[in-house]
Amino acid sequence: MNLGSLITDTLANTLDVSLPLFRPELCLAATVVLLLLCRMLPVLRHADSALVALGGVGFGLWYAWSDFKSLPAGGDLLAGRQELFTGLLVYDALTAYVRLLLLGFLALYILFTKVSGIPDREDGADFYTLVLGGTLGMCLMASANHLLMVFMAVEMASVPSYALAGLLKGRKASSEAAIKYAVYGAGAAGIMLYGLSLLAGVLGTCHLPSMTVELAKTAHAGAAGGSVMVLSLGGLMLAVGLAFKLSAVPFHFWCPDVFEGAAAEVGAFLSVASKAAAVALLLRVAFTLGVPAGGEAAAQTLAALDDTRHFMVYLVGLMAAVTCTLGNLAAYGQTNMKRLLAYSTVAHAGYLMMGVAAAIAMAGVTAAGTRDAVTAVAFYLGTYVFMNLGAFAIVAFLRNTLRSEEISSYAGLVRTSPGIVVATAVVLVSLIGLPPLAGFVSKFLVFSALVEAISAGAERPLLLVLLVVGGFNTVVSLFYYLRVLKVMTFDPPPAERATEPFPLVSLPGALVTALVLPVVGLGLFWSGLYAAAQLAGAFAS
Amino acid sequence: MDAAASITQPALWPLTAIVFLPALVAAFLSLPIVPKAREEFIRWTTLFTTAVVFVLSLWMAWPQLFGAAGPAQFRLGDTGMQAVVKLPWIRAFGIEYLLGVDGISLPLVVLTTFLSMLAAAASWPITKHVKAYHVLFLLLETGMLGVFVSLDFFLFYVFWEVMLLPMYFLIGIWGGPRREYAAIKFFLYTLLGSVLMLLAILMLYFTSDLRQLSPEQLLASHVVSPALDAGAQADAVRAVRDAKAPVHTFNLLALAQIGQLPNSPFAATQIWGMSLEKWAFLLLLIGFVIKVPVVPVHTWLPDAHVEAPTPISMILAGVLLKLGGYGILRICYPICPGAGLDLAWLVCGLGVVSMVYGAFAALAQKDFKRMVAYSSVSHMGYVMLGLGVWSAVAGHDYRWDAWAQGVNGAMFQMLAHGISSAGMFFMVGVLYDRVHHRNLEEFGGIFNRMPVYSGLAIAVFFAGLGLPGLCGFIGEVLVTLSSWNYSRALAVVSAFTVILTAAYILWAIQRVYLGAEYKGPHGDHLTAITPRELAIATPLVFFAILFGVAPQILFNYVAPSVNRQVETLADWTRRVHDAKPASVAAIGEQGPGQDVAAR
């Protein structure tokens, strides 16, 4: 093949296949450039960066939506799968779903930050540049198909987050959070990069599906102990990087400090978007490495990869159990609302990983079951957007009126602003996982994925343990979520509080209502979101 | 199943209104357009709503009172599910909005609406945050009624959990001095039980397979609505039975049919060396007995009852405890009959232990309300025993009528206890509102100061004691009689418990109502009973007497459904359980089988 035809092919592939499916990301990238341009050109200096960002995200959302809608419903699922940019990225149902989720979240998020007043006008351009850039990285995380892209995407999502954590420039805690986050992140990234190089070195390729084939060959040939050792080590190191993004124990230490130090708005971004992308990447890596794409030797390869999947199930499953338990137990002692939500985020990462573990466990056993489990995780992410964004929005708005984020400062809030207390109750009870709220359905689906896997006989002992741990954690989590409600309702208000902190009939009130209503709505009528999540689940089968 | 939406369902609106009207009014009351200061308006609206719901439930239960019976109303003597409402809810999981009543659930529904109405009337002394209180109260009523009429396990679970949060706040905000502790303890215990229940629900769901059921069974369990025309029925049946993958279900009736199949998948699946049936039975049982409650998981009850405000104590004792018994009867036994049979000793044993422990604990209390709370533990022990003996007679000879006696007794005991315990808590509340203490040692001489009130109170306490001629007697005697067939020791113990019951109740009456004069604090506040209180107490006393002298009124409703369920399970025991080689030795001769058939 000569250079000319190579260029023509690549160009044709890029223009005809890759770029059309890359439009949402392009919109984000263009908006970032536009935001920076606005700063430089005197004419555009006074443009509201939130609106500019919202416009760009709107375009991206529209493209993401039209991509998602044109996914083949049911039927042959590999038909929708496309490798982009010569295999660096992959476009499939999971990409489309997570991208839609991220951009939808981003639109809500920009509205929320616009109302809450952080960032101020001065910081707006910087803030939205970082947020949009981070989200761009997260979209890439969901579609990475190459170790290089895995690393690039993780870094692209992380670096803006470090800067965001330090957004409140005057505050010592914020700067401390940023530096802690950056150092921790750099360490995790270094370890992950090392792991990636080990994997690539042994398998001789960085392209994930090709790695799967090599992995199967290695396993099939009964590889010498040495290379298995190196591969496991590489896998573990890769898991460190992912666990850092997921804030899974024992790589969660940054989470409470960053959430406490950074503004609540930043916490919302990290807890929702970052988590969704990390879960998507975990699914992507696990399923690409553990399950061969269709084809001639798929069944044989699938069997050869049993050990790989077993390794991954135990890794993810045990981490899930520990993450969930530790998150819930640690949340118990918190007095700062953002810190409490940070541990709640950690705990929810655990529940999500339980779903992922169930999905991987069933991958070799039943296709329908795998799909159900991935659907459960995708559904969970969908409801999580509203629950956590709602929770952080309430924290931010209460901070604006009460000037405090301590739980004790919420005492007796029900006397003056019952509406906001009801909204908080809905969000927190949904996070506990009680019906008829969205959080219950999510938890129900994850548990049912575990039970389905158990009844299919996949990895039974571990998944039974996970099921018990999940149930136990639901009970434990009751304490700390209810404590917040207890303070808000049972305790008498402090004497010096201003009388009218937060009417529900106001712009922030309307936003909170708009975030809380889906939490109730999705708890009662979840067929629609479930069908969408099922499309995403298709990627695994 | 899609056609289900288009067929006419006469019970759709009546049943939906009974369940959701309180929630709808709660939503209305919570709107800002209802000012907080309009307390009287809020109270009257709540009372009116509960009254409307009560009349609606009465309309269903007693059509003769309202003229000719319509298709949505209850036909006495019909043993199956009636007034079934079936709409698809979540198709991906086959979850349905499936409601219905039979002789087991309908009396409990009426009890709930009746007690809710009385409790709403008893809520006048609540002066703190009146609006929030009534909103939560109405939400609680929706949750309770929903549990009794749900026939879909998922829906059942949703309603079951919906009750928790209102109850938490009702105890935690309007309760006594230790309210926060009591509220979280209540929530924690119940949530623990419901998480276990959720695990059992999922296990059953994923093991169930509707394809195993015959077309008749599919129709009987309303998987395929019998209201469809024949062609549509056949199509729907075929759609289920010809499915390629297992068709899982949350339908309680269908799960019961599957559980009673000779090749029940629940019995066949093993987890950690125990059948799934047994696991599910145990997990569900723990969830339900926490609600009943049974020793040793009863400790939330004295705290919750004592700290809760009077109307909420009435609801707790009158209705919430019955949810546990109802769950065991409706879910545990029909779905897991084999486990029920094997674990009969456990259920009966728990019942008797609670009975005795509750009675002794009640004897030791100094706090009037706490004494009444422990009496509930003791009385609900009879319910457990009555439900337990049901499955237990297999080793002896087949006397299904003896089992039915126990279950009927348990059902009657639940209803009677609903009346008497709500009455007792109300009577304690009346005193507490006046003198603001409940110390049994400091009472005495109330009869002289409040003769009308004391007369009514003594009647209610006698009903709780189980005096013949009052409602408490019938259930206890039936349960004790039927347990004789299972284990004489248990029967003797339960009979002797009556003496303990008499002791603590008579002693309490003596210490509170009798005596020369009241010497405790706030003696000058002991005013005569108000008309409002009289209006609440009188119906309770009236029904306590009525059901004591004419228990048939209740048995007409309860017995046909209970008998049918027991007969079905008796038949199952013979057909399936004893047909297994391992237990052949334990079977008696074939004779009693014909006895059952003859009935």
| Coil, helix or strand at residue B270 | strand
- B469: amino acid identity, one letter: G
Q: What is the pLDDT of residues B518-570, one digit of tens each?
A: 887 887 888 888 999 999 999 999 999 999 999 999 999 999 999 888 888 88
**CA–CA distance, A392 with A390 (Å, rounded to integer):** 6
Q: Which residues contact B134 (CB under 8 A, 6 or more apart)?
A: B26, B29, B42, B43, B45, B46, B120, B123
Which pLDDT score, from 0 to 100, does residue B483 have?
A: 86
Maximum Cα interatomic distance, chain A, rounded to a whole number of Å: 81
Helices and strands of chain A, counted as H and E runs? 22, 2
Is A479 touching B (CB cutoff 8 A)? Answer: yes
Q: Which residues contact B274 (CB under 8 A, 6 or more apart)?
A: none
Is A502 touching B (CB cutoff 8 A)? Answer: no
Which pLDDT score, from 0 to 100, does residue B584 have?
A: 39
Q: How many CB pairs under 8 A join A and B?
A: 81
Is A448 touching B (CB cutoff 8 A)? Answer: yes
**CA–CA distance, B144 with B317 (Å, rounded to integer):** 13
Q: What is the pLDDT of residues B27-63, one digit of tens each?
A: 999 888 888 788 899 999 999 999 999 999 999 988 8
Residues A423, A512 contacting (CB under 8 angstroms): yes
Probe site for chain B from A443, A478, A487 (most B CB atoms < 10 A): A478
Residue scoring higher pLDDT (A302 or A447): A447
Exposure class string for A426-455: b at 16+ Cβ within 10 A, else e: bbbbbbbbbbbbbbbbbbbbbbbbbbbbbb
Q: How confident is the model at residue A78 (pLDDT cuts 50, 70, 90)?
A: low
| Coil, helix or strand at residue A187 | helix
**CA–CA distance, A378 with A139 (Å, rounded to integer):** 15
Which pLDDT score, from 0 to 100, does residue A105 have?
A: 95
Of the candidates B216, B32, B55, B253, the one whose C-alpha atom is nearest the C-alpha of residue B135 is: B32
- Nearest Cα of chain A lies from the Cα of B219 at a distance, in angstroms, of 26
Strand partners, A406: A336
Residue B113, both tokens: 């609406």
Dihedral, CA atoms, B196, B198, B204, B206, nearest 10 degrees?
-130
Is B92 touching A (CB cutoff 8 A)? Answer: yes
- Nearest Cα of chain B lies from the Cα of A198 at a distance, in angstroms, of 40
CB contact under 8 A, A474 and B168: no
Q: Which DSSP category does B98 fall into?
A: E
Q: Which DSSP category does B380 fall into?
A: H
Phi and psi at B274, nearest 5°, equal -130, 145
Instruction: Find the residue in B nearest to A477 (Cα).
Output: B188
Which pLDDT score, from 0 to 100, does residue B393 have?
A: 57
Of the candidates B527, B410, B413, the one whose C-alpha atom is nearest the C-alpha of residue B470 is: B413
| Coil, helix or strand at residue A194 | helix
Residue scoring higher pLDDT (B583 or A217): A217
- Cβ–Cβ contacts within 10 Å for residue B531, how many? 6
Q: Given a cut of 60, is residue A114 above it in pLDDT?
A: yes
Residue A478, both tokens: 């009751």
Q: What is the pLDDT of residues A492-540, one digit of tens each?
A: 888 776 656 667 678 888 999 999 999 999 999 999 999 888 888 877 6
| Percent with pLDDT over 70 in chain A | 95
Chain A residues with CB-CB distance to B157 below 8 A: 435
Residue scoring higher pLDDT (B5 or A5): A5
DSSP per-residue letters across B299-339: THHHHHHHHS-HHHHHHIIIIIHHHHHHHIIIIIHHH-HHH
Mean predicted confidence (pLDDT) in B503-532: 86
Residue A368, both tokens: 């329908």
**CA–CA distance, A76 with A83 (Å, rounded to integer):** 17
Mean predicted confidence (pLDDT) in A389-408: 90
- Nearest Cα of chain B lies from the Cα of A481 at a distance, in angstroms, of 12
Mean predicted confidence (pLDDT) in B169-198: 91
Whether the ω angle into residue B32 lies within 30 degrees of 0, i.e. cis, is no
Residue A192, both tokens: 């992950």
Q: What is the pLDDT of residues B200-234, one digit of tens each?
A: 999 999 999 889 888 888 888 888 888 888 888 88
Distances (CA, A) of A416 to A9, A410, A498, B171: 67, 11, 9, 21
Mean predicted confidence (pLDDT) in A370-395: 93
Which pLDDT score, from 0 to 100, does residue B599 have?
A: 34
Residue A259, both tokens: 């959430």
Residues B266, B277 contacting (CB under 8 angstroms): yes
Residue scoring higher pLDDT (B560 or B78): B560
Q: Given a cut of 90, is residue B241 above it in pLDDT?
A: no
Chain B residues with CB-CB distance to A502 below 8 A: none
Q: How confident is the model at residue A223 (pLDDT cuts 50, 70, 90)?
A: low
Q: Given a cut of 60, is residue A140 above it in pLDDT?
A: yes
CB contact under 8 A, A474 and B195: yes
**CA–CA distance, B204 with B259 (Å, rounded to integer):** 9
**CA–CA distance, A18 with A41 (Å, rounded to integer):** 32
Phi and psi at B177, nearest 5°, equal -60, -35
Q: Is A69 exposed, middle or buried (0-12, 13-18, 19+ CB in 10 A)?
A: exposed
Is A489 touching B (CB cutoff 8 A)? Answer: yes
Chain B residues with CB-CB distance to A522 below 8 A: none
Q: Given a cut of 70, is residue B3 above it in pLDDT?
A: no
CB contact under 8 A, A475 and B203: no
**CA–CA distance, A382 with A521 (Å, rounded to integer):** 13
Residues B184, A482 contacting (CB under 8 angstroms): yes
Is A429 touching B (CB cutoff 8 A)? Answer: yes
Is A73 touching B (CB cutoff 8 A)? Answer: no
Is A224 touching B (CB cutoff 8 A)? Answer: no
Chain B residues with CB-CB distance to A367 below 8 A: none
Q: Given a cut of 70, is residue B587 above it in pLDDT?
A: no
Mean predicted confidence (pLDDT) in B129-146: 93
Q: Which residues contact B576 (CB under 8 A, 6 or more apart)?
A: B260, B261, B262, B264, B337, B338
Q: Where exactly are the structural domains of chain A?
A: 317-541
**CA–CA distance, B301 with A118 (Å, rounded to integer):** 48
Q: Which residues contact B79 (CB under 8 A, 6 or more apart)?
A: B102, B103, B560, B561, B563, B564
Query: Which of B199, B205, B271 comes nearest A471 by C-beta?
Result: B199
Instruction: Find the residue in A nearest to B245 (Cα).
Output: A368
- Nearest Cα of chain B lies from the Cα of A471 at a distance, in angstroms, of 6
Q: Which residues contact B301 (CB under 8 A, 6 or more apart)?
A: B293, B316, B321, B373, B376, B377
Q: Given a cut of 90, is residue B198 above it in pLDDT?
A: yes
Pairing verdict, β A82-84 and B95-101: unpaired
Exposure class string for B401-440: b at 16+ Cβ within 10 A, else e: bbbbbbbbbbbbbbbbbbbbbbbbbbbbbbbbbbbebbeb
Residue B143, both tokens: 């949750």
- Nearest Cα of chain A lies from the Cα of B128 at a distance, in angstroms, of 11
- Nearest Cα of chain A lies from the Cα of B498 at a distance, in angstroms, of 38
Instruction: Find the residue in A nearest to B187 (Cα).
Output: A478
Q: What is the pLDDT of residues B345-401, one digit of tens each?
A: 899 999 999 999 999 999 999 999 999 999 999 999 999 999 888 665 555 556 677
**Window 508-537 of A, Cβ < 8 Å to B:** 526-527, 530-531, 534
Chain B residues with CB-CB distance to A419 below 8 A: 32
Which pLDDT score, from 0 to 100, does residue B581 have?
A: 52
Q: Given a cut of 90, is residue A48 above it in pLDDT?
A: no
**CA Rg value for chain A:** 23
Whether the ω angle into residue A492 lies within 30 degrees of 0, i.e. cis, is no
Phi and psi at B249, nearest 5°, equal -145, 150
Query: Which of B188, B207, B245 comes nearest A455 by C-beta?
Result: B207
Which pLDDT score, from 0 to 100, does residue A273 have?
A: 93
Of the candidates A333, A349, A177, the one whose C-alpha atom is nearest the C-alpha of residue A263 is: A177
Mean predicted confidence (pLDDT) in B451-460: 92
Of the candidates B373, B376, B381, the one whose C-alpha atom is nearest the C-alpha of residue B356 is: B381
Residue A150, both tokens: 């895995």
Phi-psi region for residue B533, left (φ > 0), alpha (ψ -120 to 50) or beta? alpha
Of the candidates B148, B155, B142, the one whose C-alpha atom is nearest the C-alpha of residue B201 is: B155
Q: What is the pLDDT of residues B285-305, one digit of tens each?
A: 999 999 988 988 999 999 999
Which pLDDT score, from 0 to 100, does residue B395 have?
A: 54
- Nearest Cα of chain B lies from the Cα of A109 at a distance, in angstroms, of 28
Chain B residues with CB-CB distance to A351 below 8 A: none
**CA–CA distance, B355 with B479 (Å, rounded to integer):** 12
Query: Which of B165, B199, B206 comes nearest A429 by C-beta?
Result: B165
ipTM exceeds 0.85, yes or no: yes
Q: What is the pLDDT of residues B325-352, one digit of tens each?
A: 999 999 999 999 888 888 888 999 999 9
Q: Is B526 exposed, middle or buried (0-12, 13-18, 19+ CB in 10 A)?
A: middle
Of the candidates B203, B201, B223, the one whose C-alpha atom is nearest the C-alpha of residue B212 is: B223
Q: Which residues contact B462 (CB under 8 A, 6 or more apart)?
A: B470, B472, B505
Judged by average pLDDT, the poorest of A43-52, A358-367, A434-443 is A43-52
Which pLDDT score, from 0 to 100, does residue A80 have?
A: 63
Which pLDDT score, from 0 to 100, does residue B183 have?
A: 92
Query: Which of B90, B245, B272 comes nearest A526 by C-beta?
Result: B90
Of the candidates B538, B555, B359, the one whose C-alpha atom is nearest the C-alpha of residue B474 is: B555
Is B76 touching A (CB cutoff 8 A)? Answer: no
Which pLDDT score, from 0 to 100, does residue B351 have?
A: 92
Q: Which residues contact A375 (CB under 8 A, 6 or more apart)?
A: A445, A530, A533, A534, A536, A537
Which pLDDT score, from 0 to 100, does residue B585 have?
A: 39
Mean predicted confidence (pLDDT) in B74-78: 83
